[in-house]
Amino acid sequence: MSARSGSYWRATLTRWFPQPLDRWVARITLCNLAIGVILVVLGNHTAPYVRDFNWQQQRVGAQEVQMVLTFNRPMDPVSVEEHLEIQPPLPGRMRKLGRRFFWTLTEPAPYGQTYRVRLQAAVDERGQPMAQPFEGEFRTPDRQLLGISTEPAQRGRMFLFNLETGAATLLTPAGLKVTQMQPSADGRFVYYFATATNLQHQDLYRLDLEDLSSRLLLDHQGYQNLRFQVSPTGELVVAERIPLQRDPMAAVQTELWIQKTSRDPFERLELDTAVGGDFFISPDESSLLISQGQGVGIVPLHPRAAAESFLAQFGQTLAIRPDGAFGALLRFNPDYTRSLSIVSNTGNSEEILRTQGSILKGAFSPRAPIFYALVSEVSHVSGAEHDSVGEVAMDSPSYTESPRLLAITLGTGNTTQGEAGNVVEVARADYPIDLDFSISPDGRMLAYTLLEPFPGIPDP
């Protein structure tokens, strides 16, 4: 019976596939099909394991908040979440998508630390456990301060001070005075204005922090460069300039020049209205928020962006949260006070501060519903003036402004930290002198600067 069956199949194959090569291909195909059926029926008994970890041996900055573990097969999500260990701990939320598990941090990882990730005893969807534990490691960048030196021998040079090692590195050559700087969000580059002569001749450079090389991006030929902004990705750069060859009787007309990517040259941005003050790049790089005298204009930068709009109730943009959900805008009130409001991307607004002084600068905390504002407080001083022979003249009022750095609790955000609208004074100077501040990318350190006292100014 078996001999006749074998002869039957050989005859059938010969009839269907008359050529010997065709018969060999048919036999191999049937064998592979049989093996595939057996594997499907019996299942894959290889133990589950982690195939890829996206942060393995990487330097992870504050802009990176999603850790991804990719397995060789679908895993039980409860088992993975229960057995995943991160040291030091990093709070986050887990989400499963096929064989990948996403651990999204609820706040940026603290800088200057090494983190170890371990997963053991997790099981797949059929209950099969991992044969051996997975171990991964990544590190956040060192805590560093970027500044401009005031030491006599190094005045005007940009430096980088590493808080972990205590080492200081000068980044710009002698004879070049840095006037404005902004690091990219990923910490790879620093954009800065610098000049060898005066402010009218400052040029825009980009410094690569890996090899400490600088490249000229925009010179001052025919223009005076005033200020610049860099987008969160570091690709989009916008500079404000004044043309020097103009009618001296005409009003000063500033221009905005834009570099869309690091490979493109700067081009003049054609605007329908004049630039009346500060400007900000939206976090998605689709538009500019420009102060235009009686309001804030939102100007699209590419055809896919939203249409141009105008916020007539506000006069200046102070800051935009990195996710674009909220912005901090100023309103100039009829009673000569200024209101600081937090405006959502849906149009809702909440006033968090009203002052008679100036609001000079602001920034959102990356890890808490806190807004930091630099406010110039106005003080009224009455005193008697004396004439040249020492006789008392009439009393005349005078005013002085002193800067204060405030931390204001917001009523928005994922967490609640104190009562909304609560104001805490972080630093102040009881005299009219420059005060500046900066927040670290992980939101755990705030640095502020005060000039040293000089004759006529009290010691702080």
Domain presence at residue 290: no
Residue 454 has what pLDDT?
58
Q: Is 380 helix (H, G, I), strand (E, B) or coil?
A: strand
User: How far is residue 113's CA from residue 91's CA, in Å, rounded to a whole number?
Assistant: 15
Residue type, 253: Q
User: How far is residue 126's CA from residue 117's CA, in Å, rounded to a whole number?
Assistant: 24
Domain presence at residue 303: no
Domain presence at residue 297: no
Q: Which of 288, 285, 286 is nearest to 275 (CA)?
A: 288
Domain end residue (candidates: 255, 270, 285) = 270
Q: Are 448 and 407 in contact (CB under 8 A)?
A: no
Q: What is the CATH number of the domain that holds 101?
A: 2.60.40.3710
Question: What's the DSSP call for residue 270?
Answer: P
Q: What is the CATH number of the domain that holds 236?
A: 2.120.10.30
Domain presence at residue 307: no
Domain end residue (candidates: 139, 165, 197) = 139
CA of 346: how far to CAs of 232, 303, 343, in Å?
22, 21, 8
User: How far is residue 235's CA from residue 268's CA, in Å, rounded to a whole number?
Assistant: 17
Residue 457 has what pLDDT?
52
pLDDT tens over the chain, length 460 residues = 455 555 665 666 566 666 666 666 666 776 777 666 665 555 556 899 999 999 999 999 998 999 999 999 999 999 999 999 999 999 999 999 999 999 999 999 999 999 999 999 999 999 999 989 999 999 999 999 999 998 889 999 999 999 999 999 999 999 999 999 999 988 899 999 999 999 899 999 999 999 999 999 999 999 999 999 999 888 899 999 999 876 666 667 788 999 998 889 999 988 766 676 688 899 888 889 888 777 888 888 876 666 678 888 898 999 999 888 999 999 999 998 999 999 998 888 899 999 988 999 999 999 889 999 999 887 765 554 444 444 444 455 566 778 899 999 997 543 334 456 799 999 888 776 778 899 999 999 999 887 666 565 555 4
Q: Are 130 and 123 in contact (CB under 8 A)?
A: yes
Q: Are residues 457 and 327 in the same domain?
A: yes
Q: Which of 401, 399, 409 is nearest to 375 (CA)?
A: 401
Backbone dihedral region of 187: left (phi > 0), alpha (psi from -120 to 50 degrees) or beta?
left
Q: Are residues 63 and 77 in the same domain?
A: yes
Domain presence at residue 166: yes
Which domain range does residue 229 map to? 145-270
Q: Are residues 212 and 106 in the same domain?
A: no
Residue 430 has what pLDDT?
73
Please tell me the total count of domains within the chain: 4
Q: Are residues 333 and 425 in the same domain?
A: yes
Q: Are residues 368 and 460 in the same domain?
A: yes
Domain end residue (candidates: 270, 305, 328) = 270
Q: Are residues 429 and 336 in the same domain?
A: yes
- Two tokens at 357? 């002084």
